Structure 1
Amino acid sequence: MSSSAELLKQCKVKTSSVKRLHKEVGYYEKERDKEQARVDKMKAEGAESSDIKQAENVLQESAMMIPQTRQRLEAALAELQSFVAENEEDIKDAEELQVARDTLAEIEKMLK
């Protein structure tokens, strides 16, 4: 496999990783919000304290996943930024490079 083809493959893999982690963060945030609403509803309806406690544990587990996944996203983002900076001359006309740049811009804007 040529060097250029290998770089394109790496670019695609790194970009896909960033997109997947971004999706995961969104999923965990939605899950946290859903579980929070469930806990609030249970409290408002005067549910059993053991049921509320169990729901709060589920909420905490969901919330704990967000910082971990966000850290992995930020690491993958930094890796992609570095890769693009180091290799953009070698793959400057490739569609994969443009997709990587678009992904970087989108995710960086979301993280701010």
Structure 2
Amino acid sequence: MSDTAALKRQLQIKTGVVKRLTAESASYVQEAEEQQRRVDKFVAEGRDEWDVKKQREVLEDCRKMIPDCRKRLEKATEDLEVLLEGIGNEDAALEEEVKTAQSFCDKARQSLKA
């Protein structure tokens, strides 16, 4: 396998990881918001305390996943950025993959700021 093909493969893999983790992070945040609304609804309806307690446990589980996912996203984004710096602009064969990777890095950084 040529160096260009190996770089292209690494770029695709790392870009895919960043893409997946960005979506996963957003999913956990959305799930936590939905669960918070569910807990609020249960409390407002005067549901059984056991039901409310279980829903709060689910909410806490959702919230615990967010920091872990964000750390993994941050690490994956840094890894991809390091790879992009190593490639630079010298390889025209990777131009499209580099643009895609940079786009996902930008999206990931925006997601991490939120």
Do they superpose with TM above 0.5?
yes
CA contact (8 A) 1:11 1:97 kept: yes
The two structures have a TM-score, normalised by structure 2, of: 0.92
Structure 1 unmatched ranges of 5 or more: none
Structure 2 unmatched ranges of 5 or more: none
1:32: Cα distance to partner? 0.4
- Structure 1 counterpart of 2:67: 67
1:2-60 deviation digits (Å, cap 9, x = unpaired): 01100000001000100000000011011101110000000001011011000000000
The two structures have a TM-score, normalised by structure 1, of: 0.94
- Structure 1 counterpart of 2:108: 107
CA contact (8 A) 2:22 2:111 kept: no
Report the number of matched residues.
112
1:102: Cα distance to partner? 1.3
1:109: Cα distance to partner? 2.7
Matched-pair identity in %: 36
Match of 2:106, SS state, is helix
User: Alpha carbon RMSD of aligned pairs, Å?
Assistant: 1.2
More divergent stretch after superposition (88-97 vs 4-13)? 88-97
1:91: Cα distance to partner? 3.0
CA distance in 2, matches of 1:75, 1:106: 14
